[in-house]
Amino acid sequence: GHIEPTEKDHFSKDDEVVGPTIYTVCEQYIKPVTDAAGRMSWALMRHPDGLECDLFITHAWQEGIFEFIDKVLASWPSGTKHAYCCMLANPQNLDISHLIQTPSRSPFAKALHCAKHMLAVPNG
pLDDT digits (tens, 9 = 90+) for 76-104: 999 999 999 999 999 999 999 999 999 99
Q: What is the per-residue pLDDT across 17-60, written as a single tens digit (0 to 9) for each?
A: 999 999 999 999 999 999 999 999 999 999 999 999 999 999 99
Amino acid at 73: L
d(CA 20, CA 9): 7
Q: What is the pLDDT of residue 42?
A: 98
Q: If you average pLDDT over every residue of the chain, what do you get?
A: 96
Q: Quick one: what percent of the chain has pLDDT higher than 70?
A: 99
d(CA 22, CA 4): 13
For 72-116, give the DSSP string. Answer: HHHHPPTT---EEEHHHHS-TTS--GGGSSSGGGSHHHHHHHH-S
88 by DSSP, 3-state: which? helix
Q: State pTM to two decimals.
A: 0.92
d(CA 120, CA 56): 8
